[in-house]
Amino acid sequence: MASSNWPAVVESELPHGSVVTSSGRVSGVHEAGAVFKEAPFSDDERLAMDNVLTEATRATKVRFNIYIGDLGADPAAGADAVFPATPEAARSVLIAVSPNDKAIEVRSGREVADRANDRVCQLGVTAALSSFRQGQLIDGLVSAVRVMAAAIGR
């Protein structure tokens, strides 16, 4: 029988915003800026987002990043400013959404620009817009990532 010195994860004792994924990994979010009394997304929404980002990254070997927040008066310039600070920016795709401005911007890094080209980025935006119009931000982002990952392929 195998044994381990690691304690089992007790899901009920995890901090708010953390979940145990189907693979057994603990995934958590950090709320940037002012502390919310209540997190803006449910645990199920965060889990769906985490799963689709993980699946897409594994399937394509392209790092997918999501930014939700104010992009400023010029959303394109805001996305350009955010993108270099994202993890593995050179080999990643950023989907940046400014919900209050109803703006979505997609950027791809120089190492994956040939695979995550303008056509693929536009497919992602188009996939997201239908859900966004219905007020479903996370569903739209999940759709965008899935469509872009399928278009990028391996």
pLDDT, one tens digit per residue, over 20-47 is: 777 666 777 766 665 656 677 888 998 9
Mean pLDDT of the chain: 85
pLDDT at 75: 93
Alpha helices in 3-154 (DSSP H): 43-60, 75-82, 118-133, 137-152
How big is the chain by its Cα radius of gyration, in Å?
Answer: 17
What's the whole-model pTM score?
0.74
Tell me what pLDDT residue 42 has. 85
Query: Above 90 in pLDDT, residue 107?
Result: yes
